Amino acid sequence: MSLVTTHVLDTARGRPAAGVPVRLDARDDDWSTIAAATTDDDGRVRDLGPDTLPAGVYRLVFDTESYLGEGCFLPEVTVAFRITDPAAHHHVPVLLSPFAYSTYRGS
């Protein structure tokens, strides 16, 4: 399993959000992409980038327009987070609806 994983749940439909493209970026002077994947039928990305990352600031960028449809209110959701322990697993779930989202540090 990679160091960073995610899970997208469609709270409006009450099911996993399958087929959402997700990108993992790292921040140095600017943002650079480390890895990209798409949520599976369970709304999960279990393999997103390396199994080790240095301490620093990262972000997950979710292409929600490809899931919610063209003209949606939230065409993209970005969740920035900090890794302080390079050995710890970081799970970042997103609860998504057509007009809102929430996130938390999962386990």
Which residues sit in the known binding site for substrate?
7, 44, 104
Annotated binding residues? 7, 44, 104
DSSP string, 4-72: EEEEEEETTTTEE-TT-EEEEEEESSSEEEEEEEE--TTSEEEEES-S---SEEEEEEE-THHHH-TT-
